[in-house]
Amino acid sequence: MDETRLDTRLDAVHAAMEAAPDDTQARLRFYDTLAASELYLMLKSEAQGDQLDPDVFELGDQSFVLVFDREDRLAQFAGRAVPYAALTGRSIAAMLAGQGVGLGVNLDVAPSAILLPPEAVAWLADTLSEAPAEIEAKPETLSAPRGLPEAFLTALDARLATMTGLARMAYLVGVTYDTGAQGHMLGFVGADPGAQGALARAVSEVLIFSGLEAAALDVAFVEASDPVAARLASCGLRFDLPEPPEPEQREAPGSDPDRPPKLR
pLDDT tens string 156-202: 998 899 899 999 999 999 999 988 888 899 999 999 999 999 999 99
Tell me the C-alpha distance between 192 and 168, whole Å: 9
Q: Is residue 208 a part of any domain in this protein?
A: yes
Tell me the C-alpha distance between 92 and 82, whole Å: 18
Q: In this structure, which amino acid lies at residue 229?
A: A
pLDDT tens string 24-67: 889 999 999 999 999 999 999 988 877 889 999 998 889 999 99
Same domain? For 143 and 181 the reply is yes
Whole-prediction pTM value?
0.75
Q: Is residue 20 a part of any domain in this protein?
A: yes
Q: Which of 128, 152, 184 delimits the end of a domain?
A: 128
250: Cα separation from own chain's centroid: 32
Tell me the C-alpha distance between 8 and 10, whole Å: 5
pLDDT tens string 89-135: 999 999 999 999 999 999 999 999 999 999 999 999 998 887 676 77
How does DSSP assign 135-164, residue by residue? ----EEEEE---S--HHHHHHHHHHHTT-T
Same domain? For 46 and 107 the reply is yes
**Contacts with 220 (C-beta within 8 Å, 6 or more apart), sequence order:** 139, 185, 186, 187, 188, 228
Would you state the pLDDT for residue 215?
Answer: 60
Q: How many domains does the chain have?
A: 2
Q: Are strands 101-105 and 62-68 parallel, antiparallel or unpaired?
A: parallel
Q: Is residue 159 a part of any domain in this protein?
A: yes
The secondary structure of residue 188, as a DSSP letter, is E
Q: Is residue 179 a part of any domain in this protein?
A: yes
Q: Is residue 253 a part of any domain in this protein?
A: no
Residue ranges making up the domain that contains 64: 9-128
Q: What is the CATH number of the domain that holds 171?
A: 3.30.429
3-class DSSP state of 231: helix
pLDDT tens string 134-156: 777 788 999 999 988 888 898 89
Q: What is the CATH number of the domain that holds 76?
A: 3.40.1350.90
